Structure 1
Amino acid sequence: MRYSPEVLAYFRATGAGWQTRMDDALREYVSQKTAA
């Protein structure tokens, strides 16, 4: 997958576990879109 540099910088700046937080954010987005 390709992500914009800004998105990667945002999540990386949150420190250790940034990949998990990014995954959590994407899961939440998908959940909201499929719940409609």
Structure 2
Amino acid sequence: MTLRLAPEVLAYFRSQGRGWQTLLNDALKRLVSRRRKVA
């Protein structure tokens, strides 16, 4: 899978150090959950 992110988004998550991919995944899951509640 390829996912294109804005450079500043990627930089932010990578700056969080080890586990940044998990943090990004968690943030995306929260976004999906919130959007499902609105729809």
Output the TM-score relative to the length of structure 1. 0.94
Which segments of 5 or more consecutive residues in structure 2 lack a partner in the other structure? Answer: none
Tell me which structure has the larger Cα radius of gyration.
Answer: 2
Between the two proteins, what is the percent identity of the paired residues? 53
Partner amino acid, structure 2, of 1:13 = S
- Asked if 1:9 is matched to 2:11, the reply is yes
What does residue 35 of structure 2 align with?
Answer: 33
Which segments of 5 or more consecutive residues in structure 1 lack a partner in the other structure? Answer: none
**Runs of at least 4 residues off by over 2 Å:** none
